[in-house]
Amino acid sequence: MDAGKTQTWSLTWSIALLVASNFFMLSAWYLHLKWDFLKSKTLVVIILISWGIALFEYILQVPGNRYGHAAGMNFGQLKILQEIITLGVFVPVSFWMLGEPLKWNYLAAAGCMVAAAYFVFSTGFSQVK
């Protein structure tokens, strides 16, 4: 496979894994607040359940970051990409799964993230060595 295809596949895998990891992260952080059967559990039990869910987040996030770095993204680009994905996953999850209303400030935050992405990716992928 040539270098361009390798970079494209690394970037594709990075984004896919980071999106999937965000679903697990949001589940670990917030679903215990929504599910009635967990509301009576002790904080220690909730923490252990959340850690169990978060394990899958890390199983996906670590290779996602490695693939992104292999595609040529520097650490700042990886972080901004992660924040964009987090917001992109959080809004639909909070709306559909958690029943939170969609608010104007979510859209404003999304606009700020688009601007951040423009600035951080405008020079292409340039790893800091």
Please give the pLDDT value at position 12: 93
The span from the CA of 28 to the CA of 79, in Å, is: 20
Residue spans of the chain under pLDDT 70: 1, 125-129
Please give the pLDDT value at position 106: 79
Please give the pLDDT value at position 1: 61
Please give the pLDDT value at position 92: 83
Please give the pLDDT value at position 69: 93
Please identify which residue in the block is written with the tokens 């520097």.
Answer: 74
Please give the pLDDT value at position 126: 61
Please give the pLDDT value at position 46: 94
Please give the pLDDT value at position 35: 85
